[in-house]
Amino acid sequence: MIDIRPFLPADAGAARRVNEASLPAVNSLSEAELLALAEMSVHTLVAVRGEDLVGLLVCLDQGADYDSRNFTWLKDNLGRFAYVDRIALAPEARGAGIGQLFYQDLIARLAAEPARATAPLACEVNTRPPNPGSLRFHQRLGFAEIGAQDLGDKAVVYLSRPLAANATGSASR
């Protein structure tokens, strides 16, 4: 059984290990950087199986002071948004539907906040190095391409979906 809950500062060490096990799909973070990112986020969630933290999701909005080329692109092109900066899963937790559980929980939280409920939910997926599984996953959840950027060291496609879209599928905890 997987429990999705808000991140706590005490989770930082385990969450960092999950993040680092997810490279290169996400950027590397120190524990201090992870804590700072969680502090500026609108929601940082963790997935827990028993006593083990097996997943991390970080969501920011346009008001974050975040030095990221992807975040800057979204700010320049969307205005208002909620941005899933990262979903990281422990290797043993991949393929278990946790990403879908994360999105179900996050979408419910965002939709319940009047100031955010009308903003699109956005993310990016690497196209270099390629991440076709993530792209298919996000398309199944109702995300559509809104742009792309070649960043030199990597390339990404930007995706967005309305929060109200009924595209979270059926996953159980």
Q: Which domains does the chain have, with CATH numbers?
A: 2-115 (3.40.630.30)
Per-residue model confidence (pLDDT) at position 24 = 83
How large is the average pLDDT for residues 138-162? Answer: 96
Token pair of 72, please?
A: 């800057």
Torsion of CA 79, 116, 20, 170, to 10 degrees: -120
Residue 108 scores a pLDDT above 90: yes
* Mean pLDDT (whole number) for 127-147: 94
Percent of the chain at pLDDT exceeding 70: 95
Residues with Cβ within 8 Å of 135's Cβ and at least 6 positions away in sequence, in order, are 125, 127, 157
Residue-wise pLDDT for 27-56, tens only, equals: 899 999 999 999 999 999 999 999 999 999
Q: What is the mean pLDDT of residues 11-24?
A: 96
How many Å apart are CA 162 and CA 143, to the nearest integer?
Answer: 8
Q: Is the pLDDT at 168 greater than 90, yes or no? A: no
Nearest to 64 by CA among 47, 85, 48: 85
Q: Mean pLDDT in the chain?
A: 93
Written as one letter, the residue type at 107 is I
pLDDT at 167 over 60: no
Distance CA 29, CA 50 (A): 25
